[in-house]
Amino acid sequence: MLRGVIAAQENWELNYTAYFSALSTIENLQSGRAAGGRMGMFFPHAGFEVGGSYQRFLQNGDYNATGAYFSWEPLPIPLDTRGEFAYSPNGQGYWLEGAYQLSRDRSYTTWSSRLQLVARVQQFFRGKIAPQDFLPAADTNRVDFGLNYYLPHDVRLNGSYGRQYSSTGNFNSWNFQITYHFLFPLLPGGPK
């Protein structure tokens, strides 16, 4: 995956993401072969970003998926809101998420400024069924609750509990993740 900024001014920023996913049939680490990207426009003074995405699945019938997303951090409230809608011939769905930081201070200098409470809802509506498309087999609703904790040096810990509801069966889901962000310039130079 490549991710970066195409152009930036004081009041806006145009960013991109491009990726390729290889086929993996390893149990619990499955993925399909696909390529895609997304472009977004970020408005820093409003704390708002909006954009669109495109993905081309390169196996099992070669089909496209498109989407739109938003992200809003209503300053000075320590709340991050995000949402996304995606459509493909095999189904469509959306998710909405809110993450509330326990402190108004976003500097990550105290334990409470490093902790976020997260809630997320999702709905998926099944379209035509294709073999091995990695999507739920039926219409699905899901709700998740979790905690994010930001450590120094761009490390994030995430723990969550979710409940999924579907005609194929209801179940609980527990997750724990560790995320590390690598940051480096794509091209040499820049401001001095």
Going by C-alpha positions, the residue among 14, 13, 15 that lies closest to residue 1 is: 15
The pTM score is 0.77
> What average pLDDT does this structure show over 56-65?
80
Q: What is the pLDDT of residues 75-113, one digit of tens each?
A: 778 899 999 999 998 899 999 999 998 887 767 778 888
pLDDT at 48 over 80: yes
User: What Cα–Cα distance (Å) separates residue 53 from each residue in 1, 65, 180?
Assistant: 14, 8, 23
> What average pLDDT does this structure show over 60-68?
85
Query: Which comes out higher in pLDDT, residue 57 or 182?
Result: 57
> What average pLDDT does this structure show over 37-50?
95
Name the pLDDT band for 30 (thresholds 50, 70, 90). low
Q: How far apart are CA 29 and CA 191, in angstroms?
A: 41
User: What Cα–Cα distance (Å) separates residue 48 from each residue in 22, 82, 143?
Assistant: 32, 10, 24
pLDDT at 119 over 80: yes
pLDDT at residue 132, rounded to an integer? 63
* Cβ-count burial 95-113 (b if 16+ within 10 Å, e if not): bebebebebeeeeeeeeeb
Burial of 91: CB neighbours in 10 Å, binned 0-12, 13-18, 19+:
buried
Mean pLDDT of the chain: 87
pLDDT at 191 over 60: no
